[in-house]
Amino acid sequence: MRENWSDENYAAHYNRLYATPAEEFQACLDLLALGPEDSLVDFGCGNGDFLALAADRVASALGVDLSGPQLEIARTRLSGRPGVEILQSTFLDFDPGARRFTRGFSRKALHHLTDSEKELFLARIGPAFQPGALFLLEDGMFFGFEREELEANWDVLVAEAQAYYGDSWEAKKPDILHSFRNEFPTGVRRWERIFEKAGFTVTERRARSSFYGTLLAVKRQGNEG
Ligand SMILES: C[S@@+](CC[C@H](N)C(=O)[O-])C[C@H]1O[C@@H](n2cnc3c(N)ncnc32)[C@H](O)[C@@H]1O
């Protein structure tokens, strides 16, 4: 099924096949070390799975996503929680305005941007992060090669994905191969340079597989890029 986040059938397909166990989000909460003073933003918050766990631990939580059907679920789940804002916007249209963040999170979402779009997006949001702010990115990313080297590494990558997904490979294969080729998971070194330019330093890298993992970045002092 081709990806279309404005289509409620696609959103339901995603929620059914890729529902995330709460432990996975818990690991993200631990890495972000959320506290009661924090202002959190979740880019690509989807149906609000992460925000639902995080919102009570922070002073404010903003979810940004383009998907009407997913945001409807998020709004219903989070209604009445103080300090929570759910905003329908594309990443590239998002303008932080006067908002300031101490924690940023994005899971399985920023690979939808090309590398130059990632750069534009990070440059736009970077100034809204306080010095010392943490940004946790969990997404498709290549740990062993750069995106330009995708074709040369294709057969090994597909074999690794098949082994990684095991019994669910056949059901997930079309989405995964589509994501590798037609979306924009990029090399970890490229991601690090993008963060660096936007004023962040990547301090931790964790590979869950050769094509998926997390980067934890810290916002540097001052506004230097
Ligand atoms: C694979 S889901 C991940 C949802 C959630 N973060 C999770 O981990 O389950 C990707 C989300 O990114 C959103 N998204 C994709 N491209 C986007 C864009 N250009 N601007 C804003 N949101 C986008 C989709 O609507 C979708 O909710």
Integer Cα distance of 129 and 219 in angstroms: 7
Among 3, 18, 64, 65, say which to mutate for ligand 1: greatest number of ligand atoms within 8 Å of CB: 65
Quick one: residue 194, left, alpha or beta (phi over 0 = left, psi -120 to 50 = alpha)? Answer: alpha
Return the pLDDT at 6: 85
Give residue 9's pLDDT. 84
Residue ranges and CATH numbers for the domains of the chain are 8-219 (3.40.50.150)
Q: Which residue has the tokens 């397909």?
A: 13
Residue nearest to atom 27 of ligand 1 (CA): 46
108 C-alpha vs ligand 1 centroid, how far in Å? 7
Residue 165 is predicted with a pLDDT of 95
Torsion angles phi and psi, residue 142, rounded to 5: -100, 120
Choose which residue among 108, 172, 178, 208 to substitute to test ligand 1 binding: the one with the highest number of ligand atoms within 8 A of its C-beta.
Answer: 108
Q: What's the whole-model pTM score?
A: 0.94
Going from the Cα of 109 to the center of ligand 1, the distance in angstroms, rounded, reads 4
Of 24, 28, 69, 26, the C-alpha closest to 46 is 69
Give me the pLDDT at residue 225, please. Answer: 46
Ligand 1 atom showing the smallest separation from residue 5 Cα: 25
| CA dihedral for 32, 34, 40, 45, sign (positive or negative) | positive
Q: Find out whether the beta carbon of 49 lies less than 6 Å from any atom of ligand 1.
A: yes
pLDDT of 1 reads 61
225 residues of the chain, pLDDT tens digit each: 667 888 888 878 877 777 788 888 999 999 999 999 999 999 999 999 999 999 999 999 999 999 999 999 999 999 999 999 999 999 999 999 999 999 999 999 999 999 999 999 999 999 999 999 999 999 999 999 999 999 999 999 999 999 999 999 999 999 999 999 999 999 999 999 999 999 999 999 999 999 999 999 999 997 554
- The confidence score (pLDDT) of residue 4 equals 84
CA distance linking residue 151 with residue 91, whole number of Å: 28
Please provide the size of the chain in residues. 225
Residue 12, pLDDT score: 82
CA distances from 195 to 42, 73, 133, 148 (A): 16, 31, 13, 19
What's the distance, CA 114 to chain centroid?
14
Nearest to 52 by CA among 79, 15, 92, 27: 79
Running DSSP on this structure, what letter comes out for residue 19?
A: P
**Closest residue to atom 20 of ligand 1, CA basis:** 90
Cα of 222 to ligand 1 centre, how many Å? 30
Nearest ligand 1 atom to alpha carbon 25: 8
**103 C-beta closer than 6 A to ligand 1:** no
Cα 161 to Cα 180: distance, rounded to the nearest angstrom: 10
